[in-house]
Amino acid sequence: MSLTCEQLIQRYSESWEKATVHPFLNECQSGKIKPEQFNTWLVQDYLFVTQFTRFLASAIANAPVTHFDVLLGGMSAIKDELNWFQEKAQERNLDLSTEKQQTCQAYCEYLHHIQNMAYPIQAVALWAIELAYNQAWQKPGKMVPPYDEFAQRWGNPNFTEYVKLLEKQADEALAEADSEVEKQATATFVKIASLEKDFWQMAYKK
């Protein structure tokens, strides 16, 4: 039996919990987050998504044609997401040409690093990155305005469906992987969980 996404979640459930449960999210839920802390996180997330766009493009370049439909749908969603980030930044008077914090920089470098690795590794990364947001923004429960818009964006059923399709594709890719690629895909999952955990914390740093 080959490795599956479900097994990764089960085997590393503690790391995954830390990736998707954080005081930042609870403070968005209650409305206690300071606007400047939220803004700090938002700008860093925009910077991350610009790098993620390049990562998705390279995953498409390595993917089998049977995976194009889902991934191209993801690419189209990112076009919308980047424009939406720019709108939010304008509303909040934020400068998007800010420097990356160290955690954001490390995450972007990691995406660049796995860009040229075997496709199953990229398929697992795409799934894990999207699942992290899909779960993290739902776990605290109904959020107060203005943070409910963010929770809706990443917690809505359509996005959940997209993440399920990414899981199916990652499982298909893993079914073709040898044990070395399985090992690297596992390491990628664990690394992403750790980077996601650190990412929330950037809200509290200048």
Sign of the C-alpha dihedral, residues 136, 60, 78, 44? Answer: positive
Q: Which of 14, 87, 91, 196 is catalytic?
A: 196
Least distance between ligand VIB and beta carbon 51 (Å): 10
Q: Please give the Cα distance from 55 to 140 (Å, whole number).
A: 29
Least distance between ligand VIB and beta carbon 35 (Å): 19
Closer of 74 and 140 to ligand VIB (Cβ): 74
Q: Which two tokens stand for residue 16?
A: 């995954």
Burial class for 93, CB neighbours closer than 10 Å (0-12, 13-18, 19+): exposed
Q: Is 87 a catalytic residue?
A: no
Binding site for ligand VIB (CB under 6 A): 45, 48-49, 52, 74, 77-78, 81, 129-130, 132-133, 154, 196, 199
Closer of 38 and 52 to ligand VIB (Cβ): 52
Closer of 177 and 188 to ligand VIB (Cβ): 188
Q: Which two tokens stand for residue 24?
A: 């930042």
Q: At CA 92, angle to CA 31 and CA 55, rounded to 5? A: 95
Check whether 45 is labelled as a binding-site residue.
Answer: yes
Taking CB positions, which residue lies at the least distance from ligand VIB?
A: 133
What is the maximal distance between C-alpha atoms in the chain? 52
CA atoms lying within 13 Å on the CB side of residue 198:
13
- What one-letter code names the amino acid at 81? E
Q: Which residues are annotated as a binding site for substrate?
A: 45, 81, 130
Question: Could you give the residue numbers annotated as active site?
Answer: 196
Q: Which residues are annotated as a binding site?
A: 45, 81, 130
